[in-house]
Amino acid sequence: MKRIGVLVSGRGSNFEALAESVASGRIPNSEIGIVISNRDGAPGIQRAEARGIKTRVIPSKGLEREIYDRQVAAVLNESKVDLICLAGYMRLLSPFFVAAFPNRILNIHPSLLPSFPGLESQRQALEYGVKFAGCTVHFVDENLDAGPIVLQAEVPVLDQDTEATLSEKILKEEHRIYSEAVKIVLEGKFKIEGRRVLRTN
Ligand code: GRF
């Protein structure tokens, strides 16, 4: 049985999609061991509680980055997680945290990286005028939205799209590929060569 730790700051729809995939067996032989939020009152925490999943709020306000990350890492280690999934976790991770879980942290980002890292990626894509947008699941390193890419999905940008409609279409793909990527990684059916994540059997 593999254990997943999920870090959220807000809405928690990607957490919910992962929880649903675990429950339905789309991500087999696994459980969500803990959901941690840096924000009190994050809807993601309420969603986890509603599913009977263990939660912890660890407020980050005023704490130096590494001091904070050490607290989060301690809780994740206590919960014996095999994989950490960032799901709308609005914090940069310290080099300490990244080194503590090598190739064991995944993030979902709402753009086709390396285009449009950072915040409001869907709006950035729309304003830039790209004809395809999408989302990316990647391993996390010390740089923002930058580690090796596990999966991507594309979404056409239509003339009538607004930030809201585009975000909605991308989110649907996020929910699909995040579960798929977690399955690949938990089953160990991959190898990393340089920046490339290659599938193995
Ligand atoms: C998603 O768009 C995700 O790609 C980005 O933050 C948003 C989180 O949404 N990193 P949710 O909290 O999972 O609903």
The secondary structure of 19-65 as a DSSP string is: HHHHHHTSS-SEEEEEEEESSTT-HHHHHHHHTT--EEE---TT--H
Average pLDDT over residues 21-50: 97
User: Which candidate in 2, 109, 138, 169 is catalytic?
Assistant: 109
**In Å, how far are 56, 83, 139, 157, 196 from 6, measured between CA atoms?**
11, 9, 14, 30, 24
Give the atom of ligand 1 at the shortest distance from the alpha carbon of 86: 10
Protein residue with its CA nearest to atom 10 in ligand 1: 88
Q: What is the pTM of this model?
A: 0.97
> For residue range 63-119, what is the model confidence (pLDDT) as tens digits?
999 999 999 999 999 999 999 999 999 999 999 999 999 999 999 999 999 999 999
CA 70 from centroid of its chain's CA atoms: 19
- Would you say the CB of residue 11 lies under 6 angstroms from ligand 1? yes
The one-letter amino acid code at 72 reads V
The residue whose CB lies within 8 Å of the most ligand 1 atoms, and thus the one to mutate among 6, 7, 8, 11, is 11
CA of 13 to the centre of ligand 1 (A): 7
The residue whose CB lies within 8 Å of the most ligand 1 atoms, and thus the one to mutate among 6, 7, 13, 14, is 14
Domain residue spans in the chain? 1-101, 107-201
- Give the per-residue pLDDT at 89: 97
The residue whose CB lies within 8 Å of the most ligand 1 atoms, and thus the one to mutate among 108, 135, 137, 140, is 108
Whether 175 is catalytic is: no
CATH superfamily of 1-101: Formyl transferase, N-terminal domain (3.40.50.170)
- Give the per-residue pLDDT at 144: 86
Identify each DSSP E strand in the chain by its residue range: 2-8, 30-37, 55-57, 83-86, 105-109, 132-139, 149-156, 190-193, 196-199
- Give the per-residue pLDDT at 137: 98
CA of 120 to the centre of ligand 1 (A): 11
Mean pLDDT, the chain, rounded, equals 97
Query: Hey, what CATH class is 107-201 in?
Result: alpha beta
> For residue range 149-188, what is the model confidence (pLDDT) as tens digits?
999 999 999 999 999 999 999 999 999 999 999 999 999 9
Domain 107-201 in the same topology as domain 1-101 = yes
- Would you say the CB of residue 16 lies under 6 angstroms from ligand 1? no
